[in-house]
Amino acid sequence: MKKLLLFLPLIALTGCGSIGSSKSDKHQMELSLHKVRTEVEDIKHDLNTYEIEHHVIEGKLIDQEQTIAALRHQVAELKSGKLDSFLQELQNLEKKLHQVSKKQDKITSDIRQLSSHANDTTTALAQYKDKIAQFEKAIQVQNLQLGEISKIKEGITKLAEAENTRIYYVKGGDSLEKIARDHQTSVEKIKSLNNMDSDLIVIDQKLVLP
C-alpha cells in the first residue's frame, strides 16, 4: 500500500508535463515511469501473493471450522451416550440398593426373632437348671435314704444270719467241700460268712455255718 501511494503523485506529474520539456526532464520522466512500472509489478506480485495466502488461510479456517464442528458433534454424541449409560447405571444401582435394603430388613427381623428366641431359651435353660438342681438334691436325699436303708438291710441280714448260724470247729480230714456237703450249704456261703479269701482251713479253726 505504501508503494501505491508513492507512485500516484508521479502519475499525476506525467499527465501535467508539457510536450516541449527538455530532454533531461524527459529522461527523468522515463526513469520515473520505469520505476513506477517496476513498483507496480512488485505490488501486483505482492497482491497475488497476499491473495494466495488469503485463500490458503481461508481454506485452513474452513478445515478448522469443519474439524471443530465434527469434534463438537462427537462430543455431543459422547455426552448423550454417557448420559444414557449413567442413567442406566443409576437405575441398576437403585435396584440393587432396593434389594439390599430388603435383605437388610429381613436380616434385622431374623436377628430380632433370634434374640427373642435366645431370651426365651435363656429363661427356659435357667428354669431347667433350677429343676435339675432340685432333682439333684432330691436324688442326693434319696441316695442318703437308700444308703441308710441299705445299711439297715445289711444289719437285719446280719442279725438274721447270726440267728440262723452255728459254730463249727474244724476236725482232722475236713475240707470246705466236705463241711458244706455235711451241713447242706455251699462253699461260697461259708467263705462269705467267715470272710475267707481261700479254701484253706486248719484243725480247730472256728467256722460260722448257716
**Residue 166 — pLDDT band, cuts 50, 70, 90?**
confident
Whether residue 180 has pLDDT greater than 90 = yes
Could you tell me which residues are beta bridge partners of residue 206? 169
Sequence-distant (6+) residues with CB within 8 A of 14 are 29, 32, 33
Whether residue 169 has pLDDT greater than 90 = yes
Greater pLDDT, 194 or 101 = 194
Average of per-residue pLDDT across 35-48? 86
User: Across 38-47, 59-68, 157-166, 186-195, which has the greatest mean pLDDT?
Assistant: 186-195
Contact between residue 43 and residue 3 where contact means Cβ atoms under 8 Å apart: yes
**Residue 15 — pLDDT band, cuts 50, 70, 90?**
very low
Could you tell me which residues are beta bridge partners of residue 167? 208
Mind listing the pLDDT tens digit for each residue in 97-106?
Answer: 788 778 888 8
In whole angstroms, what is the distance from residue 97 CA to residue 75 CA?
32
Contact between residue 170 and residue 202 where contact means Cβ atoms under 8 Å apart: yes
Q: What is the DSSP letter of 174?
A: -
Mind listing the pLDDT tens digit for each residue in 116-157?
Answer: 777 777 787 777 678 788 878 878 877 787 777 677 656 555
DSSP of 58-81, one letter per residue? HHHHHHHHHHHHHHHHHHHHHHHH
Give pTM, 2 decimals.
0.27
